[in-house]
Amino acid sequence: MSKKRGLSVEEKRSRMMDFFFEKKDFFQLKELERQCQKEKGITSMSVKEILTSLVDDGMVDTDKIGTSVYFWAFPSKASQNRKRKLDDLTNRINDLDEKRRILADNVKKAKIGKENSEERSHLLKDLEEKKQEKTSLLKEIEKYRECDPEVLELVRKQTGEAKEAANRWTDNVFSTKSWIKNKFQFEESVIDKQFGIPEDFDYIE
């Protein structure tokens, strides 16, 4: 008989937020260690670590009253905080998408055969940095899906839009390759090597 798998960190975070949203009350650490283990299956030894991560992410509030430290989280505030964060991330993604579009146009206009390899390398480096930054933002958006059913559908929509934006950028790269191939009769492998495009470069599923 296989051993029962323990909860992952994300599962523990989600269950602890569920606990706060259900109770709508204030708790000390000892109370959380006892009740979260009993009601949500989160081991008492891991409660402090999970609670700290939620406080650091601004998902749980905390304050010291007298000699006691209390923790709480209410659904309404969580929804507002996440919506503001998602709006900010979406705006940054849209800005990155526009910058990548401009960079892709610049790459397309770069002339093959002239001594401008330094310029092309700089453009491609900028493209890669913007792509990595966008990937990081998409991961951060994914993190904010975990505990708030009120914004889950919104996050799904915005994640889809972000994926479409990434694929539009990928489409620009393929269009650039096609233009170079038709204009200068280069093989795709030569173009990929010239511009540092990896062999597995493709659309996001």
User: Is the four-CA dihedral 170, 175, 178, 183 of positive or negative sign?
Assistant: negative
CB atoms within 10 A of CB 50: 24
Give the pLDDT band of residue 135 (cuts 50, 70, 90). confident
**Terminal Cα distance for the chain, rounded:** 37
- What span, in angstroms and rounded, lies between the C-alpha atoms of 148 and 141? 12
Phi, psi for 181 (deg, rounded to 5)? -65, -45
Q: According to the model, what pLDDT value does residue 45 have? A: 93
* pLDDT for position 89: 76
Q: Please name which of 135, 141, 143, 155 lies closest in space to residue 53, comparing C-alpha atoms.
A: 143
Q: Do the beta carbons of residue 71 and residue 51 sit within 8 Å?
A: yes
Q: Give the other-Cβ count within 10 Å of 106's Cβ.
A: 15
Tokens found for residue 7: 């909860």
User: How confident is the model over 141-165, as a mean pLDDT?
Assistant: 65
The pair of structure tokens assigned to 188 is: 């795709």
Counting DSSP H helices and E strands in the chain, the numbers are 7, 2
3-state SS record for 21-83: HHHCCCECHHHHHHHHHHHHCCCHHHHHHHHHHHHHCCCCEEEEECCEEEEECCHHHHHHHHH
The strand pairing partners of 69, in sequence order, are: 64
Sign of the torsion formed by the C-alpha atoms of 35, 37, 42 and 43: positive
Q: In the structure, what pLDDT confidence band is assigned to residue 155 with cuts at 50, 70 and 90?
A: low
Q: What is the DSSP letter of 146?
A: S
Confidence of residue 152 (pLDDT cuts 50, 70, 90): low
- Cα separation, 10 vs 154, whole angstroms: 20
Average pLDDT of the chain to the nearest whole number: 78
More confident residue, 85 or 148: 85
Among the listed ranges 11-25, 45-59, 144-158, 177-191, which one has the minimum average pLDDT value?
144-158
Q: With bands split at pLDDT 50, 70 and 90, how would you rate the model's confidence at 183?
A: confident
pLDDT digits (tens, 9 = 90+) for 56-115: 988 899 999 899 999 999 887 756 666 666 667 777 787 778 877 777 776 666 655 544
Whether 1 shows a pLDDT value over 50: the answer reads no
Distance (Å, whole) CA 84 – CA 179: 41
